[in-house]
Amino acid sequence: MRTIQTQTKDDEGFTMSGKDVALYDQFASEARSYGVELTEASPGAVADAIADAIEPPAIGTPLPWDDVELPDCVETNPTPADVEGAVTGVTGASLAIADYGSVVLEMTAAGSEPVSLFNDLHVAVLRESDLVPDMAAAFEWFGERARESRGSAIVATGPSATADMGALVQGAHGPEAVEVIVVS
């Protein structure tokens, strides 16, 4: 694995600066293999990247970082009718697991679980510094937090899919499409 200190571009043209290129590339490759769209944005450009990614109406939970915000078009205090009628849900992701292309979505009092699961499109916002190489590293990180807070999380890998009744169906138990916005 190599770490770079200068700017370079990945195969999709995303700027890679001072990050572990191999780890990001592995996450991006695995996530894309499940049909996940990836967008990289600076903290100041996150709201615009989210606005470009969503299909209205959109609901979301406040992002857990001071330097990023949701666009005004995302409802952060949804009613049950808003949740039912929303096409897009936007949440922060606590962690991403490179080996699987998965994001870890911690459950929050703001309602991250229904926002991430009950819509056709889920937009997860992730800090690039929150990439870990494998499930062991994810459990090491999350296990301590879960023991301290008695919290829970979802490990989500791509859109929801099931073949319970024969042919593969996407969106039966969660979103039909997923986009991850990586904050660089």
Question: Would you state the pLDDT for residue 168?
Answer: 63
Question: Would you state the pLDDT for residue 182?
Answer: 97
Residue with tokens 């615009």: 48
Task: Convert the pLDDT of each residue in 12-40 to its tens digit.
Answer: 444 444 446 789 999 999 999 999 999 99
Q: What DSSP character marks residue 87?
A: S
| pTM of the predicted protein model | 0.84
Can you tell me the distance from the alpha carbon of 184 to that of 33, in angstroms, rounded to the nearest whole number? Answer: 22
The alpha carbon of residue 128 and the mean position of all alpha carbons in its chain are separated, in whole angstroms, by 11
Sequence letter at residue 184: S
Strands 177-183 and 37-41: parallel
Can you tell me the distance from the alpha carbon of 38 to that of 119, in angstroms, rounded to the nearest whole number? Answer: 18
Query: Would you list the DSSP string of 48-61?
Result: HHHHHH--SSEEE-
- The highest-level CATH class for domain 7-183 is alpha beta
Question: Would you state the pLDDT for residue 118?
Answer: 86
Question: Would you state the pLDDT for residue 157?
Answer: 87
The answer to whether the CB of 131 falls within 8 A of the CB of 28 is no
**Torsion angle of the four alpha carbons 112, 36, 103, 156, in this order, in degrees rounded to the nearest 10:** 70
SS3 content of the chain, % helix, strand, coil (to 5): 30, 30, 40
Q: Give the residue-averaged pLDDT of 126-155.
A: 88
Q: Give the residue-averaged pLDDT of 143-163.
A: 79
CA distances from 160 to 9, 36, 48, 176 (A): 30, 11, 26, 6
The answer to whether the CB of 40 falls within 8 A of the CB of 182 is yes
Average pLDDT of every residue of the chain: 85
